[in-house]
Each structure stands twice: as structure tokens, then as C-alpha cells.
Amino acid sequence: MENLLELTKSLTTIPSPTGYTTEIMSFLEEELGKIGYDTQQNRKGSLIVTVPGQNTEQQRFITAHVDTLGAIVRAIKPDGRLKMDLIGGFKYNAIEGEYCTVHTQAGKEITGTILMHQTSVHVYQDAGTAERNQSNMEIRLDEKVTNAEETQALGIEVGDFISFDPRTEITPSGFIKSRHLDDKVSAAILVAFLQKIKEENIELPYTTCFLFSNNEEIGYGGNSNIDPRVVEYVAVDMGAMGDDQQTDEYTVSICVKDGTGPYHLGLRNHFVALCKAHDIPYKLDIYPFYGSDASAAMRAGADVKHGLIGAGIEASHAYERTHRDSIEATYRLVETYLLSPMG
């Protein structure tokens, strides 16, 4: 668990908004290479590890995504500050006051802070009531700029990616709080499992494709490179918490239905049976405004049984938090599932 938490922390510190994932894919490729795996990237930039198993005619496919929410430079304002366009499904209030980094085409990194234009209560009467939207939110750069020309002279252009400071912290009480736990917790879980089966020379019952996808936050990622022999497709992604939700920070969440429809009943029941048989704490839940790489694969026409499990994440798409208990329960279900016969 300590290694898993540290790997999660390492992953959160690598900027990877959707469309800007080369660095984190290189990191994963290097880490998996150290363990002894050959990897390949598809044309979209996702990383694939195929692990041979006893049964090659029936296969499994499991995925976690490493792309995150972020933004892109929409315009340079007359005063030198930046207007943003959002990447992924979140609200401006979730990033107000956050530190950020602008990644220029030339490779330069320029820090800043995301603020309301009307932030100063000593100047703006509507500082607390003005709508948090694209028109009112801006990036204050940590550079001496007073006009658009000075900002452009730094090398900043429309289309440059913007990442948010993760502020990752692991507390003595077992919580990990950070941006981008969705879905870097799950990616760390898959890497940890791949490490274990290599170190202990474990043979999987089925040939299994592990895919680290890089486009999930914009609605697709793991809907290609699916071998026609794949029977079961599992997305490991965050469990959503809130009113009317059973998901918590201490168990593994098994999704019954998300915004796209129900997940495969037989596979869901198989997860539940495994949890009961192996004393893995779990919760069944519905995520009403949610989609995963598994549901994207279904929309793309994949002929598979699809499932979704994950650690419970508090405050999704904002400054998130989970507990090591939930990470451990999720890891145990992933391990138990991949080492067991199909349901």
C-alpha cells in the first residue's frame, strides 16, 4: 500500500490534461519497462500492455485513464491575462483560486493563478455574486506583463495547454487528497498489480490487455484496440460520492448504472460474489452524471460484457480525496477478479 500511495502521488504530479499526455505515458512506459514489460502505444497515444494467460481464446480487457481535467488558452486579454477554454466536464468554481501552469509550444512553463476578474472586494461590488464563467475567469500570470504583446513575448499563444496544481498530500490518518485522483489512483492500482504478477511469476487465467487511456475525460479512450476475443471489459475509475450515493472513501464502489445506462448485470453480480467470498468491503451505486471508457466502448459497438469499479472519490472533478482503505479494497477486487475464472 505504501508503494501504491507513493506511485499515485508521483502520477498526480505529472501534468496530463487531455491532449497533453506524452510525459505521463513516457513515465508509465519507463516504470513498466523496469518491471519487465514490453509496451506499445496506439495512434491516439494510449499505452497498452498485453499479458499472456492460460486461455487465449477468451480474453479480458481492463483500463484506467491518466488524462485529467485541464484547460487551454482561449485568448490573450488586452491586459496580458489569459482567458481559458475548459478541457473535461467541470465547473469554473472548482478551480477558482488554484495555481496553474501554462505549457508553451516551445516547452517553457509559466505559472499563474486562476481568479475571477472581479476578485477584489475593495473594488468590485459583485465580487461574491458574479457568475463564474469563461468571461469572468482569467489567469493572472506570475510575470511582469501589462498587455497582450508582453504576454505573447513570453511565448504564450492560443492553444497552449494549462494544467492545475495537484497539491497532493498523504495524511497520517490514511487519506490522500489531490486533484486528479480521478483516475490516477486506478492507474497506480493496475501498475501495482502488474508488478506483483511479474515478481511472483503469476500466470493469469486469461490473456489480459491492460490499457492506460489518455482521452477519457473528453468521452473516449478505450474504445479501440479491443481484440475480438475479448469477452469482459472492465474500467477501473473513480466512484462518485454525494447525496443519495452509497459510495464512500473506505470501500470499493461497483457501478450499477451511469449516465449512459446499466452495466452488464452478470459481470456486476460476479464482482459482488467475489467481494463476498473474499471479504472485500464494497458498495453498489449509480453515478447519474458519468461515463467511462467502458461505456464509450459500448457506444462504439464493442461486443463485450462491460463493468466499472473504483475507489470512492470525494469532491469529484474538484480538490478530491480518498482513503487508503478504499484504494486497498479496489486493488483487492482487481486482483481477485483478474486471478479468477470468468463469472
Q: Per the annotation, where are the binding residues?
A: 65, 182, 217, 237, 317
Which one from 216, 249, 328, 335 is the annotated catalytic residue?
Answer: 216
Q: Which of 44, 46, 26 is nearest to 34 (CA)?
A: 26
Q: Count how many Cα atoms sit within 13 Å of the Cα of residue 203 in the half-sphere of its side chain.
A: 6
CA dist 257 and 88 (Å) reads 21
Q: Residue positions in the annotated binding site for Zn(2+)?
A: 65, 182, 217, 237, 317
Which residue, chain included where needed, has cell 477519457? 216
| Three cell numbers, residue 293 | 471508457
Do residues 233 and 297 make contact, with C-beta atoms less than 8 angstroms apart? yes
Residues 6+ apart with CB under 8 A from 165: 98, 99, 100, 101, 179
Residue 216 a catalytic site member: yes
Gyration radius (Cα) of the chain, Å: 21
**Cα–chain center distance at 260:** 18
Residues carrying an active site annotation: 216
